[in-house]
């Protein structure tokens, strides 16, 4: 028999508002009372009227995930896991994929107007206007940003420098004399990946030189970018160790060196970045810098759920470190070197 909030409250001797807060997960209700309410609601088959709730509060109970159409392979994989985790926690999930000329702010506003319960933006590199953040706050709709640039919201960040520092130390400590690093920037304006490489050199009393960077500007076709970059290196210079901006770039690089008859890793060590699922299943498995995808997704969902329970709590910024994963393309045969490679170094 399905009963109303009033009948549940009468039976437990508590108010209707307390029953409502207990069922909706809002703060201000003891865990003991919440457990009693949920137990009785389940016993009597109570199901809240979602449409009526949406009209009263200005929001629903589903999750909206906003992502750009053009994003790295690892971000696509991460968003797939996020979708699965979101469905498990929120039930209803809507994915909004933005073209390059569409803004995250417009998508957030549209999600709010469609009565979403919470929003997660993944890999959106734009600042969310303060006016929009205030509107979200007034409607008590959580906004969580993953691997994005905006401030004033709950943020999940990725420390890419931690893993690239380990990577560069590994190349140098295992005997590479002429390592090169594929990079989208220069020493004058290093990104997070390059910052880690610079720190690795400093940690060993060395200095990274500008001519050790191989610049590229095109990541729209990463396999071709890697293949072409390796071809140019083969024509103009020698290297015995090569760090690639991403795993897909590294796969293109490996193809070019293999076609040239150069043995991996006997003649050149190659390292990627991201640890996409394919990386461990190549003919020569790829040493790479891994993002902790599963942990990151789990934390993003947890932060969003916690924001619904304690909406006015201070904003959270959680940073996940990347980590070197050693495989066949750049092996470490001396076990004693591992402690040096993975040693925490503060500079």
Q: Does the pLDDT value for residue 1 go beyond 50?
A: no
Name the pTM for this structure: 0.80
Q: Which two tokens stand for residue 142?
A: 């959580």
pLDDT at 126: 86
d(CA 164, CA 267) in angstroms, rounded, equals 21
Least confident of 11-20, 31-40, 70-79, 232-241: 31-40
**Cβ contacts of 194 within 8 Å, gap of 6 or more:** 164, 181, 183, 185, 187, 213
Dump pLDDT digits (tens) for 70-86. 998 999 999 999 999 99
Q: In what order do the strands lie in the sheet with 213-215?
A: 213-215, 179-183, 241-243, 269-274, 287-290, 323-325
Dump pLDDT digits (tens) for 264-294. 999 999 999 999 999 999 999 999 999 999 9
Chain centroid to CA 225? 23
Domains, the chain, in order of start with CATH, read 5-48 (1.10.260.40), 59-159+293-321 (3.40.50.2300), 160-291+324-341 (3.40.50.2300)
Cα distances (angstroms) measured from residue 198 to each of 169, 189, 273, 333, 347? 10, 12, 16, 25, 10
d(CA 88, CA 90) in angstroms, rounded, equals 6
pLDDT at 346: 60
d(CA 278, CA 301) in angstroms, rounded, equals 26
Across 297-309, average pLDDT: 95
37 or 131: which leads in pLDDT: 131
Helices (DSSP H) in the chain: which residue ranges? 5-12, 16-24, 31-43, 50-57, 73-90, 104-113, 130-139, 160-173, 192-203, 222-236, 247-259, 293-309, 335-341
Across 293-297, average pLDDT: 96
Helices (DSSP H) in 174-274: which residue ranges? 192-203, 222-236, 247-259
Looking at the DSSP bridge assignments, the partners of residue 320 are: 158
pLDDT at 181: 98
Residue 106 half-sphere exposure toward CB, CA atoms < 13 A:
8
Chain centroid to CA 283? 28
d(CA 296, CA 82) in angstroms, rounded, equals 9
Tallying the residues shown for the chain, one arrives at 347
Looking at the DSSP bridge assignments, the partners of residue 290 are: 274, 323
Least confident of 17-26, 87-96, 316-325: 17-26
Residue 75 half-sphere exposure toward CB, CA atoms < 13 A:
19
Measuring CA to CA, which residue among 260, 257, 250 is closest to residue 282? 250
Q: Are 288 and 249 in contact (CB under 8 A)?
A: no
Q: Are 79 and 124 in contact (CB under 8 A)?
A: no
Q: How many CB atoms lie within 10 A of CB 85?
A: 18
């Amino acid at each position: 028999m399905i009963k109303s909030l009033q009948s549940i409250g009468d039976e437990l001797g508590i108010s209707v508002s307390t029953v409502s807060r207990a069922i909706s997960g809002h703060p201000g209700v003891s865990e003991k009372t919440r457990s009693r309410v949920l137990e009785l609601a389940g016993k009597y088959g109570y199901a809240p009227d979602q449409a009526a709730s949406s009209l009263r509060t200005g929001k629903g109970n589903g999750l909206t995930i906003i992502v750009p159409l053009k994003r790295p392979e690892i971000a696509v994989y991460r968003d797939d896991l996020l979708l699965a985790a979101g469905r498990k926690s929120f039930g209803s999930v809507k994915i909004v994929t933005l073209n390059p000329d569409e803004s995250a702010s417009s998508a957030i506003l549209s999600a709010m107007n469609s009565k979403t319960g919470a929003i997660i933006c993944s890999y959106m590199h734009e600042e969310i206007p303060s006016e929009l953040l205030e509107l979200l706050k007034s409607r008590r709709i959580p906004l969580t940003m993953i691997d994005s640039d905006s401030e004033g919201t709950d943020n999940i960040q990725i420390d890419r420098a931690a893993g690239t520092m380990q990577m560069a130390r590994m190349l140098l400590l295992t005997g590479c004399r002429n390592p090169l690093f594929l990079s989208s920037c220069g020493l004058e304006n290093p990104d997070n990946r390059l910052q880690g490489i610079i720190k690795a050199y400093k940690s060993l009393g060395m200095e990274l030189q500008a001519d050790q960077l191989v610049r590229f500007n095109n990541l729209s076709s990463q396999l071709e970018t890697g293949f072409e970059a390796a071809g140019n290196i083969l024509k103009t210079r020698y290297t015995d160790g090569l760090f690639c901006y991403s795993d897909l770039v590294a796969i293109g690089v490996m193809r070019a060196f293999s076609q040239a008859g150069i043995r991996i890793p006997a003649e050149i060590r190659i390292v990627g970045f991201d640890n996409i699922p394919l990386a461990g299943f190549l003919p020569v498995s790829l040493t790479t810098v891994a993002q902790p995808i599963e942990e990151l997704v789990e934390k993003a969902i947890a932060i969003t759920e916690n924001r619904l329970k304690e909406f006015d709590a201070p904003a959270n910024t959680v940073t996940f470190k990347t980590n070197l994963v050693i495989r066949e393309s750049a092996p470490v045969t001396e076990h004693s070197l591992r402690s040096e490679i993975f040693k925490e170094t503060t500079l």
